[in-house]
Structures are given as structure tokens and as C-alpha cells.
Structure 1
Amino acid sequence: MVIAFHKPYGVLSQFTQDQPGQRTLAEFGFPASVYPLGRLDLDSEGLILLSDEPGMNNRLLDPSAGHSRTYLVQVDGAVDLEATQRLSKGGLVIKGHRTLPCRAAPCNDPDFPPRDPPVRFRKEIPTSWVEMTLKEGKNRQVRRMTAAVGFPTLRLIRVRIGSFELGALKVGEWREMNPTEISAIWK
């Protein structure tokens, strides 16, 4: 079984709390045997997969397999061509790791509901959106990459894993994937 879940902001990608009062996956009524395939930070939202299939985690997350993950990233400031080119080229050194090339391009404001709590607003500084597709996933990598090119991340939403898209799944909702959808992950 593979489950697609739209993880809300402020929820740990695990079933147990690190600190009292933290929200976890346990509150969403998943079948007892599933575990998350990978993670999204507490302050990130969007598509996360869960499964009860042994070995699927390694198969999906192994960098040699090169499964892409696409994020929509709201950044502080009006992102420019130079910044997206630097992101795309790769080679940014983040905590001793040199990033691989990725796809990064400015995009329109996606039609997602406002986040709760809202993203900070500063009247003098605009925000903009970047679509980024990576084949690697170090801890907080997207956030560190955008900051390294001068555009700190304000909101991060994972919208695709492989060619499987988050689609119309609402925040906090989950559903079991069918075999065709599961095969889309591996494409």
C-alpha cells in the first residue's frame, strides 16, 4: 500500500513527538502499518508518501535512482534570472555538500490556500515564487539553496514526486494510490 498525503505546515513527518504538543502524522488516522517515505520539514507542506512496503524507502530515496521532487517556493524578494540560473547550475556549497544541477524557474503565484499561520508580509519587500525540481534531498536543502542566492524561503510546498502530482488533495487529506499512480513515482 502507498498513500499520498498533503502534509500541513507545522506537522512533523513522523508518528512520534520530539517535544510535547507537537503535531505528528499520528493525528491523521493512517493505517497502523505505514511509515513515511522521506520527510518534509516541520515548516514545509505538500506531498509526502507513506507505505507499508519493505524497501520502498531505500528505493525511492537512493540518490542513484534519481527520483525527482518538485517544489513551489515562495521567496523573500523578486527573484531574478541570475538567481534561478545559479540554482539550476548546481555547485552551491551547503553545509559541505555541493548541490547537483536542478531545474529552477520563476513561476506564477500558485492557487494554494493561505498558510496558517500566514507567511510574514513586508510592505516594502515583494515576494515571488520559484518552481524547483531536484533529484537529491539533503536536510533543508531547498531553503538553504534559495538563501545562498539571496532569496530566503518563506513558504515551501512539494507538489510532485516523480511524475505523480499532489493534484487536488487538500491540506490534511490522504488517500491510497492506485497501481498506475504508484508507477508514476518511478518514471
Structure 2
Amino acid sequence: MLIALNKPYGVLCQFTDADGRATLADYIVQKGVYAAGRLDQDSEGLLLLTDDGTLAHRLTDPRHKQPKTYLAQVDGAITDEAIAALRRGVMLKDGPTLPAGAEHATEPDWLWPRDPPVRFRKAIPTSWLRITLHEGRNRQVRRMTAAVGFPTLRLIRERIGRYALDGLAPGETRLLLP
């Protein structure tokens, strides 16, 4: 079984929480599935869940290089130089990243409002970029955009390999063919 979930902002990528915070159990009714990968509590978008260990390994193991594509809203008007640096790969505290696919993007018309909204500052614009990674370090997109001078304010995963959000609203699920 393979399930796509549009993980809402603020939901933990686990099924239980001793502090009573929102978890996957609030959205997934199927038993015996687990997340194939993670999204931070403050990230949104596509999360795949499965009961198939081999499939989970294929989706998450870096050796299989499943591309993961994200939309990132960043603080400031991102420059061509910053995009070029992301494409080359940037140096993080845990070493250099692989080159990423990176391009300017516009806020999509299908994007849902976030609760709470992203902070608004009249004097500082925000901009959007689409970034595709072939590795999956902890908070990697956020660390990469910060390294090039444009901290991430909002992060939505659109795609993992051939699987995409494709119109799922936050909290909605869809059964997929593996």
C-alpha cells in the first residue's frame, strides 16, 4: 500500500506525541503504514506512507537518488547569483551539498493559505523558488537557502520521484500505485 498525504503545517511526522500535538494519526486511518521519509513540523506538502519496507527503502535511500522537489518562499527577493550557488551546491556545517535544481518561481494559484500565515514585513519582500534535491539531509532546503542569504519562510514539498501532490488539499490522502 502506498498513500500520499498533503501534510499540513504544524503536524509531526510521527503517529504519537506525549505532548498532544497533531500527528499523522490525525490524518491516516490505515493501520500498519509508516512514513517513507520525513517533513519537519513546520514544512508542508507531500509525504508518502507505506506498509512495504522495500518500497520505503527505494523511496528514501540516497543511493536510489529519488529527486524531491520543493517550493520555498524565502525572505527577500532571491537573486540569480543565489540561484546559481544552489545549482552548484553550497557548503553547510556538515559538508558540501550536491548540486540542486533551482529556479525562480511564482506563488502558485493552487496554494492554500497557511495557518498561521507567514510573517509579513512591509519593507522586506518575499520571493519563491523551486528547488530539487537528490539527497535528504535534515532541514536541507532551509539550511541551503539560509547559506545563500535568503532564509526560508515557507516550505512545501511538491514531488518525490514520480509522485506529486496533484491537487491534494492539506490533510487529504490518496492511495497510489507503487
TM tier relative to shorter chain: over 0.9
- Name the residue aligned to 1:143: 142
Counterpart amino acid of residue 158 in structure 2:
V
Shift of residue 124, structure 1, vs aligned partner = 0.1
Within 5 Å, which residues of 2 pair with 1:6-155? 6-17=6-17, 19-90=18-89, 92-111=90-109, 112-155=111-154
Structure 1 residue identity aligned to 2:168: L
Cα deviations by residue, 1:79-114 (Å, 9 ceiling, x for unpaired): 010000000101x22222210011001111112111
Q: What's the RMSD between the two structures over aligned residues?
A: 1.0
Instruction: Give the distance between the partners of 1:158 and 1:89, measured in 2 at CA.
Output: 21
1:185 aligned residue:
none
Give the gaps of 5 or more residues in structure 1: 183-187
- What CA distance in whole angstroms lies between the structure 2 residues aligned with 1:48 and 1:147? 24
Helix, strand or coil for the counterpart of 1:143? helix
SS at match of 1:4: strand
Distance in 2 separating the partners of 1:144 and 1:51: 28
Secondary structure, in 3 states, of the residue corresponding to 2:40? coil
In structure 1, distance between residues paired with 2:2 and 2:93: 33
For 1:4, the aligned partner's letter is A
Determine helix, strand or coil for the equivalent of 2:53.
Answer: coil
The amino acid of 1:89's aligned partner reads: R
Residues 119-170 of structure 1, C-alpha deviation per residue, up to 9 Å, x if partnerless? 0000000000000000111000000000000000000000011122101111
State yes or no: 1:4 paired with 2:4: yes
Alpha-carbon distance, 1:41 to partner: 0.3
CA–CA distance in structure 2, aligned partners of residues 84 and 6 of structure 1: 27
| CA displacement at 1:58 relative to structure 2 | 1.9
How many residue pairs end up in the alignment? 177
Q: Distance in 1 between matches of 2:94 and 2:167?
A: 37
What is the deviation of 1:32?
A: 1.0
Which residue of 2 is the match for residue 167 of structure 1? 166
Q: TM-score, normalised by structure 2?
A: 0.96
Q: What's the TM-score, normalizing by structure 1? A: 0.92
- Provide the identity percentage: 56
Q: State the one-letter code of the partner of 2:162.
A: S
After superposing on structure 2, the runs of 4+ consecutive aligned residues of structure 1 that deviate more than 4 Å are none
